[in-house]
Structure 1
Amino acid sequence: MSLPISEHPRHSPTRSLSFYLVLVFCVLPVWSIPIFSWSFVLYELRGGGISGLSWHGRALFTYALAEVLFSIHYYILYKFVDGPCPISPGNTEELTLAFKRISQSGLTNLPGDAKTEDILDVSYPESSAETIEKLSPTDPRAIDFQDQFRNWFGGVPWSQIRRKEMCTWLYWCLYYAHMPEFDKIPPTQLNVLLDCLDLVEKRAGTRIPDGSNPNAQPRLLTLDPVSIRWRPLIYYLLIALSDFIMKQLFIRVWGMTLDSRHGIDYLVRIPPTWDACKGPTPIVFVYGLGLGLLQYSTIIYSFLTQVPDRPLFVLLQPHVSQQIFHPRFLVPKNRKETVTTVRQLLIDLGWVPNPPDARKGDAKGSRPRGVTMTSHSHGSFLHAWLLKDEPALVARSLFIDPVAFCSWEGDLCLKFLYNPATTGLQLFMNYFASTEIGIANLLQRQFDWAANTLFFEEIPHALDPSRNKFIVANDDVVLSAPRIKKYLMSHGVRSGLYFNSQGQHGLALIPGTEGFNELMTWLKEPEHY
C-alpha cells in the first residue's frame, strides 16, 4: 500500500544554473561592497597614507568610510530587529474563530477535480456552514490538511510531528510567545490551546502522538532568529533617489499630489469634474513588497491614463519599500492604527460617508458609496484589515496575487522565508526582498497572522463578480495559487476569479498581458449599485 502524500519526504531541488548567474552577477557585487569598503579603509588607515592620496583616492576613501559607518548603523538596526516580538496577543475570540474557520476550510467536496469554473454550476456552502467532525485518517480531506499543515514543521512527514511541537506552534499562533511548561500555562490559555489542538486533530483525522521530536521543530515566524542579508549604503541611496524621481514624475508630469496626514504618506489625484456621489468609485491602491513607486510605476500610470474619470489614491509604505531613511521604516503602523488612519483619510477626502454606515437607507446618489480597494501581494493584508474592521468603506475589491488567502497553510511562510533558494528568481527575491532589514522586520517581527488572514466570509458581496475580482497566477513563486483557486471556488466564486494557468507573480501588473487586460476591463465596468 502506497503512503499518503502527507508522508512523502520533501527533497530540496538542486540549484539551477540561473541561481549561480544571479549569485555572481547580482547578489555578490552588492553584498561585497561593505567588505571591500572595510578592507580599503583599514588598509589606508594602517598605512597612514591618506594625506598622500589624490583627490580621486580621497573621494573613494570618503565613500568607503561612509559605507563602514553605515554598516555599523545597519548592525545596530539588525540587533534592534532581532529582539523580542513586539506584537501583543490578539483577541482570543477572533483567534479561536480563525482556527474554527481553518478547520472548516476544505471540507466541501468539489465535483471531480474542479479544474475549471465551467463545472461549477451550483453554489457551494460557505465554510462556516460545514460541521467540524473528526475525519477518517484515510479521508482525502484529512490527508490534504496534513500535507499542507506540515509546512509549518519543515515539511516532515505528518506522522513525525509530536504533541509538544504541535502545542508549541499553536501557543505561538495564539499568544506570539514561547510556550511555557504545561503546568505553568494559565488555565484560560490552556483551555483555548487544547480546544485548538482538538480542532487540528479532528481535521487531520489523527491524534497527535505524545512526546517530542526534535527533528520536527515548528516554524515560529515572529520568534525565530531574523534572517537578514547585508547590503550597502549606496543601495539605499539609489532606492531613495529612484523614489524621489518617481514622486516628482507623478506630481509634475501626471498631476498627482503628495501629502501626509495622520502619519501616513500618500499620492492622490482627483479629476476636477468627478462627483463624489454620482461618479465612479475612487481607486485606493496598496502595493506589495519591493521597491515601492519604482516597481509599481507602470500600473499606477495605467490607472491614471486608462481610468482617468475616477480618483486615485496610492498609499506610500516605507516599511515595505526599503526606504531606510524614513522615520517609520522600522515602526510600521499596526492594524488598528492603519485602519483608523485610512478611514479618517477617506472621510477627509469625502470618498466615504461619515460615519461609514450613514449611507444605509439613503437615496441612491445622495452619499459617497465607498472606494474600489485594489491591492497587490502583501497589500492584500491591509486590504483584509479594512474588510474586517471597516467593510462599509469598501464598495468593490480587486485582489491581484493576494497572499491574504490560505496563509494558514504555510506555503507563503515556507517559500518566502524558510526554504533555501535554488533558482535565480528565488535567490533574487530572497536577497532583494525577503532578507532586506525593513521587510524582514515586517514579516518576522510584526506579522500578525490572524489579522492578515482573510476568510471568504469576511468579504462583503463575495459572490458578486461586479463587486469582487480575484486575479491569481498559477506559476506564482510566492504563494500557492492552486490552493487559493480551490479555496475560492469551493465557496462558489466563478466569473469573479481569473486564473492565469501560465502567469507569474506580478505579471498581471504589466500592460498587454491577459491579467492586466482582465483587471482593467473589470475596473471600467459600469457600477450599478
Structure 2
Amino acid sequence: MSFPISEQPLHPSARQLSFYLVFILCVFPVWSIPIFSWLFVLYELKGGGLWNLSWHGKALFTYALAEVLFSIYHYNLRTFVDGPCPIPPGNLEELILAFKRITQTGLADLPEDGNDEETLDVSRPGSPAVTIERLSPTDPRAVDFQNQFRNWFGGVPWSQIRRKEMCTWLYWSLFYAHMPDFDKIPPARLKVLLDCLDMVEKRTGTTIPDGSNPRAHPRLLTLDPVGIWWRPLIYYLLVALSDFLIKQLLIRVGGMTLGTRHGLDYLVRVPPMWNACKDPTPIVFAYGLGLGLLQYSTIICSFLTHLPDRPLFVLLQPHISQQIFHPRFLAPKNRKETTAIMRQLLIDFGWVPNPADVRKGETDDPKPRGITLASHSNGSYVHAWFLKDAPDLVSRSLFIDPVTFCGWEGDLCLKFLYNRATTGLQLIMNYFVSTEMGIANLLQRQFDWTANTLFFEEIPHSRNPSRNKFIMANDDVVLCAQRIKRYLVSHGVRKGLYYNSEGQHGLALVPGTEGFNEIMAWLKESEQY
C-alpha cells in the first residue's frame, strides 16, 4: 500500500566523511580556541608560574586572556540575543491577507511550464484570486500543501499534527508570541486564529484532530532558543581587518566613497559624466549572509570593471557580515527604516524622481528612470521591502538565489536553521553562517515573515525579461530552488529565468561561470520600458 508523500517520514541522512573532515580541519580548530585559552589562563594563574614565562609565553598568555575576556563578552551578548522577540505584531489586516495569499498559492490549475492569465491587479500580473474551498484530502494540490507545510513541524507525517501544535504555530505566525490558553486569548485574536485554522483545513482537505502530539512540536522561529556557537576574538578581528582592507581597496582603486545616513552604511561610485535621465540606470546591490565585503568583493569588483559607465551603490549590512564591533551589529534596520532612508538617499543622489518636483509641476524636463536593484540570497529580503514600499524607485530587478519566494513552505527554515548537518558543506554553512551571533539574531529574533515574503504579483512588470531577471541553481543547499522555479514558471516567467541544473548557491557570482555571464549580459543589455 502506497502512502501519499505527506505521510512518508523524513529519514535523517547519515553523516558523510566530508562532515568529519570539515569538523576536524576547520570547525574544531576555530571553535576550540576559547576553551584552550581558558585552560591555559587558569593553569598559569593557579600554578603561579606566570612571571617565569618567557616573553613568548607572556605574549601567548596576554592573547589567551584577551580570548577569555572576549568569551565573557560574547556570552553576555548571547544572553541578550536569546531574550524575548523584540518584533511587535504587524498590521493585522496585512497578516491576514498574507496568510490568505499563502493558502491561495497553488490552488489555480496553472501548468508548471505555463502562464497565469488571471490577475489580482491589471497593472501587475500575478497569482490568481481564487476562492479558498475545501479540497479533497487526496487532491494533489492538498497533498502538496500538506507535504510542504509539515516542514514547520519537523517533517512528521501530516496526520500526526494535532490542533494544539497547529494553533500554536498559527498564533506565533500571526502575533509573534506564545499562544496562551484558549480561554485567555482576546476575542479578536481568537477569531483571526480560528479563521486561519479554517483556511489551513480547507487547503489541506483535512480536519486537524483535537489534542496534542509533542512529536509534532512546531518550529517557532523567533521564539525558540537561538542557536549560537561561540567564536574566538581572533576570528572577529580577522573579519574586521579584511573588511577594512577591502573597503580601502574599493575606495582607493575602485573609486568608491564610504558614506553613512542615519545609521545606514554604504559604498557608492558615480562616473563623472553619467546622466541620470539618459544613461543606464544605477545598480544598487544588497548582498547576503556571510562575511560581507570579503565574501562579495569579487562580484563588486566585477560590477566596477565590467560596468564602468554606470553608478554602483553597495548597501553595507554589518549585522549579517559578522562585524561584531559595529555599533549596529545587533540592531539591524527594519523594513520601514531601510526603505525610508534609501528613498531619501536615492533622491539626494538624483537617481530617482523627487516627488517634491512632481508636486511643483516640474514635469517637462526629463526625469531619472530609477535604479536597477540587484540582490543575492538574504539580500532579496531588502529587495522585497523595496518592491512592497517603494516600487516606483525600481526600474529593473535582478534576483540571484532569492530566498524571498516561497518562504512560507518552511524548506529554508528547516534546511538552514533546524536541520542536522550531515555533509561538510552543510557544516560550513551551519557553523560559519547560520549560528554566528549577528546572523542568528537577525533570523531568529528580528525576522518579520510578512515583510520578507514577496508574492509574484508584487513584482512590477514581472514577466518582462528586460525588467526582471531571476538567477537560480538546482543544487542549492540553502533554499529549495525547484519549488521556487516551479512557482515562478507557473506564473509565466520564462525568458527572465536562468536556471543552472548543476549549480550551487552563490556560483553565479563567480566570474567565468555561465550564471555570471548571464548576469553581466542582462545588466548590459538595452533597457526596454
2:401: which partner in 1? 401
For 2:519 and 2:442, the matched residues in 1 are separated by 28
For 2:18 and 2:307, the matched residues in 1 are separated by 39
Instruction: Count matched residues.
Output: 523
2:326: which partner in 1? 326
- Give the match's secondary structure for 1:89: coil
Deviations 1:156-177 (A, max 9, x none): 0000001110010000000000
CA contact (8 A) 1:106 1:490 kept: no
1:360-439 counterparts in 2 under 5 A?
366-439=366-439
Deviations 1:329-357 (A, max 9, x none): 00111111111111111111111111299
2:114: which partner in 1? 120
- Give the match's secondary structure for 2:231: coil
Deviation at 1:199, TM superposition (A): 1.0
For 2:263 and 2:312, the matched residues in 1 are separated by 19
1:50: which partner in 2? 50
2:2: which partner in 1? 2
The one-letter amino acid of 2:404's match is: A
CA contact (8 A) 1:124 1:491 kept: no
Deviations 1:145-191 (A, max 9, x none): 00000000000000000111001000000000000111111111111
Q: 1:7 to 1:361 in 2, by over 3 A?
A: farther
2:122: which partner in 1? none
Asked whether 1:132 is paired with 2:132, we answer: yes
1:19-168 counterparts in 2 under 5 A?
19-111=19-111, 114=112, 120=114, 123=117, 126-168=126-168
Name structure 2 gaps, 5 residues minimum: 120-125
1:520: which partner in 2? 520
CA contact (8 A) 1:319 1:332 kept: yes
Deviates more, 1:434-443 or 1:351-360: 351-360
1:215-254 counterparts in 2 under 5 A?
215-254=215-254
Q: 1:9 to 1:458 in 2, by over 3 A?
A: same
CA contact (8 A) 1:356 1:393 kept: no
Deviation at 1:364, TM superposition (A): 8.8
For 1:365 and 1:475, the matched residues in 2 are separated by 48
Q: 1:27 to 1:344 in 2, by over 3 A?
A: same
Deviations 1:463-496 (A, max 9, x none): 1111111111110000000000011111111111
CA contact (8 A) 2:115 2:491 kept: no
CA contact (8 A) 2:22 2:424 kept: yes
- Give the match's secondary structure for 2:156: coil
Deviation at 1:310, TM superposition (A): 0.8
1:199: which partner in 2? 199
Asked whether 1:480 is paired with 2:480, we answer: yes
Deviation at 1:106, TM superposition (A): 1.1
2:496: which partner in 1? 496
Deviation at 1:65, TM superposition (A): 0.2
2:214: which partner in 1? 214
- Give the match's secondary structure for 2:97: helix
The one-letter amino acid of 1:256's match is: M
For 1:375 and 1:440, the matched residues in 2 are separated by 20
Deviation at 1:107, TM superposition (A): 1.6
CA contact (8 A) 1:149 1:410 kept: yes
Q: 1:496 to 1:359 in 2, by over 3 A?
A: farther
- Give the match's secondary structure for 1:284: strand
For 2:390 and 2:362, the matched residues in 1 are separated by 19
Task: Give the alignment's Cα RMSD to 1 decimal.
Answer: 1.6
For 1:273 and 1:408, the matched residues in 2 are separated by 45
CA contact (8 A) 1:23 1:427 kept: yes
Deviation at 1:277, TM superposition (A): 1.2
The one-letter amino acid of 1:376's match is: H
The one-letter amino acid of 2:22's match is: V
- Give the match's secondary structure for 1:25: helix
Q: Percent identity?
A: 77
CA contact (8 A) 2:285 2:375 kept: yes
2:463: which partner in 1? 463
- Give the match's secondary structure for 2:328: coil
Deviations 1:354-408 (A, max 9, x none): 1299499987971111100000000000110111011101111000000000000
Q: 1:124 to 1:489 in 2, by over 3 A?
A: farther
For 2:345 and 2:268, the matched residues in 1 are separated by 11
- Compute the TM-score of the two structures, normalised by the length of structure 2: 0.97
- Give the match's secondary structure for 1:265: strand
The one-letter amino acid of 1:317's match is: Q
- Compute the TM-score of the two structures, normalised by the length of structure 1: 0.97
1:453: which partner in 2? 453
CA contact (8 A) 2:110 2:116 kept: no
The one-letter amino acid of 1:120's match is: G
Deviates more, 1:126-135 or 1:325-334: 126-135
CA contact (8 A) 2:289 2:377 kept: yes
CA contact (8 A) 1:101 1:128 kept: no
CA contact (8 A) 1:356 1:392 kept: no
For 1:48 and 1:373, the matched residues in 2 are separated by 61
- Give the match's secondary structure for 2:348: helix
Moved over 6 A (4+): 359-365
The one-letter amino acid of 1:144's match is: D
- Give the match's secondary structure for 1:129: coil
- Give the match's secondary structure for 1:266: strand
- Give the match's secondary structure for 1:127: coil
The one-letter amino acid of 1:281's match is: T
- Give the match's secondary structure for 2:260: strand
